[in-house]
Every structure is written in structure tokens, then in C-alpha cells.
Structure 1
């Protein structure tokens, strides 16, 4: 059934475009009568009736029976069949991944967080990724027959339109999306992790009612996602959002991009980790000191948990980094004047410890007339933003209309 449904939606015909519009209408507005649909789509009632009949036969649409009315002829209600298509989202992190499945209505059917996975730029890591995704799909039973797209988030320079990823798994001249499609047996798309998080927050999180958004992903690195007038902004070449690699510091710290002075060398999760370890080695105390004294290794998550358990050293470092990054976020607000700026990523879990210094710096460094209508908020979806966004983007890619 997967092949039939997907081939129907992939057709470039006018009829296929109308069917996509109908599905998008049902997703955004819910069930409707043929009269309502024909009015919304500016089609005749006979044409709409014919297309709905085809979509019912194909399994996209369900006849929900007659509408209850106070009198007169009762019209039939039609709506999207949620089981006619499923979409998989994969959000790759440094030491684990999150994977989920939604139906055509966007309802989460399966969500697995913190699946062990070591993200390395090696063929073995790519093999392991494919193995995890394949196992997840196999466990979905009959739903796997109707999976229409898989979207996989990867940090760094990812072009979702061409399917190329230049930050990881660039072992062949072919697009990574094509390689993954061949290996997994489904249509696969790749996406930048921060853009996926942004879209997840826009579709299902705190930014649902907004049209102009900046999402700041403060994790091991730093990136931004931008939504302008309700649409994800990709930039001319598909690589917008490399906020962490703006050169702002006069330092000798080498960024993973190969340059020095990048924002994320002093204002990111990796910077927090480095500074914490330096201060510990200089004799400053923390609730993590006992573990470190025993020779145990800690990670960024441990520092975040320590801050949330009122560890003074961790809180101080996070607040210092919040102030630094807030100064440059103020510049983003001056440029884009967003309705909402969402603080997301791993550091969002620290709540006000990261948010308050950012807000203070924004008030200090951005223009009052520009920032007065910009709400600064913490991500609602938090660690789920990436995987939910990947699922929603998988659906969006199938339903995009031809230009």
C-alpha cells in the first residue's frame, strides 16, 4: 500500500496537487463536507465529489457519515484516514538518538527517547543508524506498510532539498538521502537538527500561534532556526542558521569548524563543559567533584543536572554563558524583529538559569522599539522538539505542493 499511496501523491498532475491540498486542509481544519471543501479549494461540487471518491477508494479519506443538522438534507462528513500514512522522525544527538512515528493526522503513535547511539563520522556509525531505524520500523507491524517518509536530523551543514550532508556521512558523491533510501527501503529525507527542532516547536509546541520565530538551539554547539511568515527559512543554498560560527571572540580556541573565535567557542554547551573542567582543575568545588576525583568521566548532561540541583559552580558558568550568547541574540532581534524567540536545546533544561541572563542581555543590547513585541520563552517540547519536528517535516515533504 505504501508504494501505491506514495506514487499517487508524487504525481505532478493537477489532480494529485488537488489531493495534496485536500489532505492539507483536513490536517489544518479537521473533517468537512464536500460543500465546505469545494468552497475552500475553489472547485465545483461535482469535481470535489469525484476527487473525494477517488481518495476514499485509495484509502486517504474516510466517510464519517451524515452531519447532524436542525433540519433539511443532512450532508456527509469526510475526513482524513489517519492510518493511510505514517511518518518516521529520527533525531541524532551526540550519544543517543530519539525516534518516533506519527500518523497522517500528526498524532504520535510511538516515541522512543535516548536510544543508545554514538554519533561518529564513520561508516560503522552509519551502519548502526540504519540498523536502529530498520529495527524500529520492523516493530511497527502493519503500520510499516504505510510509511511514506523518514526524516533524519543531523547537526551541521545539511541541505534538505538536495539531500546532501557535508558534516557527517559524506562517504560518497551521492546524496545521503539517496543512500539512506536505498538502504532502508523507504523515501528518506535529511534535515538540519536545529531547523527540525524549530519546526517541531512551530507545529506542536509553544510557537503554534506565531508566524515569525527564531529558535535558538543551545546544545553542545549553537544554531538557530528561522520561520518567516509561517515558513521555514532555508537561505539561498539551504544552510541558514549557522549562528554558532559567527566570529565574535578574539581568542585562540579552535572551533570544530576549523576556525577560531566562533561564538560557540565561548557560548555553548561545549564551552560550558570546557570551562567547568578548567575551573574544577583549578580547585573550585562542585557536587560533581567527588566523581571527578575518582577519575570518572562526566558529560554536559551531568553539569545541567548539577545546576538544577543548585550546584553553584555549574549555575555560575551557565549564567555567564547565557549573558554572552544573549548579547548576540540581541543582534538577531534587531535584525529579524521576531514575534517570539524560543530558547531550546539541551541547555533549555536549566530553565531560568540560562533564560534570565539571556533576557537581561537582550534588554541591554537590543533596541527597545524592536524587542518590545518579541516574547522570549523556553521551549515547550524541550528534548522532544527534534524528533517531533523530524516527524512533522517527513509529512510536510510528502505533502508539499509543486511550484
Structure 2
């Protein structure tokens, strides 16, 4: 008995006819996923393959439980052909989005549907072995509680902040304790193939693939959270840069200050325009005796976090709104720089601070108009993320799906 498609997929040494067959199967699945269900004749014509060859390959995929025969379709003349398409529950992908104080995890099927989502699972991201061990335990717990067999999960996408080389699986900002890639370390603990990605880039891909992007080819996605990340889409493709580290937007030295950034340098955009900066500014206002519900709700010695300020702003707290507007103005100044360089069709605001909606979008828009060239920014739209808090997990699932099966 020959190997199944999934066994072929995990065979990294495939060559010759086996390699060609695997790529043909990926192309067929890609057509079903990205275009539509189809007849054998349509597929053969589209992929430039003979009808007998297409019939044989489709039969293999049906036997493997990936493709389904939907029966006869209407035809203007002659015999009615059969229509074929994907069986969504034949394969699944897991997306893990790591935040500073929690993780989000999701399971998606072959047709991009989210089957199960677990949000805000308590977790503290720290650069130590204990934090990594806890992360693996949380992923294993999620897998154990799923209503599907583990062997149907083809891969896990994990988003983490900082410098990530997705091609090699190394993270250089977190959990870089071993010569072995972080993706392989986690893979050995969860028993499923793991793909690592920078969190902002994964969120961007989610938005590009299933969110607010409607045909635009040159798009910038801003992940405005404790730090500031950037996902770049150029001519419809994610841009990584030579080493895979593109998008370190938060570390542009835009301000002449003495505030030390988390990267070790001074004057970075993040020092004046991020969740970290927001928490610092609130603390200063508290010391100056400003009035806010933020100070009434927190007990003595309790730190005010970015999430607290977002909640206060959405409850119409004046100080929180003012500080978010100040942050927005600083971010807009940085985005103006990006617009002058990239001249994008669309800039998307995502991440936690985008949850404040117009409170942050309007100051950003005002600063863009002030600091960017009007001739350049005239054709740039500014929109809030459509996927919101699900952007990361959706992006993680879809990137795994794309990398394993070449599906967009």
C-alpha cells in the first residue's frame, strides 16, 4: 500500500515522481481552497494535466479522506460530470498567539474555519526555561481537550514578539537557550510540527488573508501593543527582508530623549508611542496628582497596565483619552515616515491599543496629515483591524496551512 498524502507531506527527502505527485496534490488542494470546487475536466485544464492523471490523483486524495466527491452537476450537454472539493474536517491547524500576560489558542480546519478558540489563557511571558515549559504545557492541554484525533493536526503556528527567523525556527528575543531551533524544542514537547513567526507579521497575514484587506497589494499592518510591530505586504506578498527581521518599526530612533528602550537603545519610537510608554505616562500623571478613575480603582502599590488605560478610555475617562491621543500623535508621526517611504494603498491599525477605536485613529490620522507628504498620502487609506484580537491566531493557523500545503 502506498503512502498517504500526509505521510508524503512529512517526507522531506521526496524526489523524482514522488516529489512531482506531492506538488500536484498541493496544487489541486490549492485550487479547491483558493478558487472553488471543480470537475476533473476543469482541474485538468487549469493545471495542464491529462484527465487520466488527474483522475488517478483525485482518487488518491479521496482515499486519504481529504477530497470529497459531491456528485453530479448540471451540464448543458452530454453526461453530467462530478464535482469535487475539499473535506474541511480532514485536516486541522493550531495557532498560538503569545502576549505579555496571556496566550490565545485556536484550531482551524482546511477551509479556514475556526473550530475552537481559547482566549486569554493566563500566562506570563518571561525569557526563562520555566516560562517556555509552561507554554508547552498549555499547548498540550489545549490539544488534549480537542474533539478531534491528534494525528489530524498537521502543524502548529506560534507567534512571539521580537526577532524571529521563520525559515530556521530560531527566536533571538525569547527562549534562545539552546543551539537547537526553538521550533524544534517545542515540537519535541508537543509532538506536532511547529512553525515560529513574529507576532506582528502573523497578525498582518491574518488580516491580509481573512480580514479587512480587499484586493489591496501594498499594505502596512501596525501592531500597537506594549511594543510596536509592523507587517509589510508588497505586491501581495509578505516582506521579510534578508534575515527575516523586517518590521522593527518600534525601534526607529525618532525621539531625542534619554528614555532607555527594551532594545537597549535610547530615543526609539516605542519609548514615546507604545503600551510601555502609556503605562509610564500614567504613572507620571498619578505622581503629579491628576484625576482619573484609573487611580481610584487600583489599590496601593498596584501597577497600572496598558489594559487598564484602554478600559478607562472606553469608559470615557478624560485622562486616559488624552494620553492615548498623545500616544496616537507619536505613532502617526512614525507612520507618516512609513507612508513617505512605501506609499502604501492601506495602513491597518491592529493590536491592543487599536481597541480604543477613534480615540487612537483620529490623532494618528491628524499626525499623518501633518508629517507626511500630501501627494504621497492622498492614496493611502487608514483602517482599524477587522479581526481584532483574533488576528494573531487566524494568521498563525493560515501561515501553517500555507507553508505545509502551499494554500493561500
Deviation per CA, 1:284-329, whole angstroms, max 9, x where unpaired? Answer: 1101111236443331111001011111111111101111110110
Q: TM-score normalised to the size of structure 1?
A: 0.96
In structure 2, relative to structure 1, the CA distance for the partners of 1:122 and 1:186 (3 Å cut) is: same
Moved more, 214-223 or 358-367: 358-367
1:364 matched to which residue of 2? 370
Match of 1:149 in 2: 155
Does 1:353 pair with 2:371? no
8 Å contact from structure 1 (residues 214, 225) kept in 2: yes
For the Cα contact (< 8 Å) 1:201–1:208, is it kept in 2? no
Q: CA deviation at 1:373?
A: 1.6
After superposition, residues 361-400 of structure 1 pair within 5 angstroms as 361-400=367-406
The offset of 1:362, in angstroms, is 1.1
Task: Report what 2:10 is aligned to.
Answer: 7
Kept in 2, the 8 Å contact 1:35–1:45? The answer is: yes
Cα displacement string for residues 350-383 of structure 1 (whole angstroms, at most 9, x for unaligned residues): 0011100111111122222221221100001111
2:126 is paired with a residue whose SS is coil
Counterpart in the other structure of 1:244: 250
In structure 1, C-alpha distance between the alignment counterparts of 2:109 and 2:346, rounded to whole Å: 28
**Is residue 5–residue 61 contact of structure 2 (8 Å, CA) maintained in 1?**
no
Contact 2:68 2:86 survives alignment (8 Å): yes
SS in 1 for 2:148: helix
Match of 1:340 among 336, 341, 346: 346
CA shift at 1:56, angstroms? 1.3
Choose from 173, 184, 188 the match for 2:179.
Answer: 173
- Greater shift in the superposed pair: 35-44 or 390-399: 35-44
Kindly state the Cα deviation for residue 70 of structure 1 after the two structures are TM-superposed.
4.6
**Aligned partners of 1:2 and 1:146 also within 8 Å:** no
Which stretches of structure 1, 4 residues or more, deviate above 2 A after TM superposition? Answer: 1-12, 68-72, 291-298
Tell me the residue number matched to 1:55.
61
Tell me which residue corresponds to 2:100: 94
What's 2:204 paired with? 198
Alignment of 1:277-356 (within 5 A): 277-292=283-298, 294-356=300-362
Against the structure 1 CA distance between its residues 206 and 133, is the aligned structure 2 distance closer, same or farther, given a 3 Å change threshold?
A: same
Q: Say which SS state the counterpart of residue 333 (structure 1) adopts.
A: helix
Find the counterpart in structure 2 of residue 25 from structure 1: 31
Deviation at 1:9, TM superposition (A): 8.9
| 2:86 matches 1:80 | yes
